[in-house]
Amino acid sequence: MTRLRWGILSTARIGIRRVIPAILRSRTGIAAAVASRDGERAAAVAAQFGIPRAYGSYEALLADREIDAVYIPLPNSLHAEWAIAAAEAGKHVLCEKPLAPTAADAQRMVDAAVRTGILLQEAFMYRFHPQIERLVDLVRGGRLGAPWLVRSAFTFTVRAPQDIRLSPVLGGGGLLDVGCYCVNLSRLLLGEPDEVAAAAVEEGGVDVRCAGLLTFPGGGAALFDCGIRAAYRQFGEVTGTDGVITLARPFQPEEDAVTILLRRGESEERLNLPGANQYVLMIDHFGGCVQTGRTPRYAADDAVANLRVLDRLRAAASRGADILT
Tell me the per-residue pLDDT of 233-257, one tens digit each, with 9 for 90 and over.
999 999 999 999 999 999 999 888 9
Q: Is 97 a catalytic residue?
A: yes
Which run of H or of E encompasses 116? helix 103-116
String of DSSP letters for 177-240: IIIHHHHHHHHHHH---SEEEEEEEEETTEEEEEEEEEE-TTS-EEEEEEESEEEEEEEEEEEE
**What are the backbone angles phi and psi of residue 70, rounded to the nearest 5°?**
-125, 145
- Selecting among 91, 92, 97, 314, the annotated active-site residue is 97
Query: What are φ and ψ of residue 179, in 5° steps?
Result: -65, -25
Predicted local distance difference test score (pLDDT) of residue 320: 44
Question: Using one digit for the tens of pLDDT, what is the confidence trace for 113-162?
Answer: 999 999 999 999 999 999 999 999 999 999 999 999 999 999 999 999 99
Strands 258-264 and 244-247: antiparallel
Query: The whole model's pTM is what?
Result: 0.96
Residue pair 35/9 in contact by the 8 Å Cβ criterion: yes
SS3 254: coil
Give the domains, in start order, of the chain with CATH numbers: 4-124+280-295 (3.40.50.720), 126-276+307-324 (3.30.360.10)
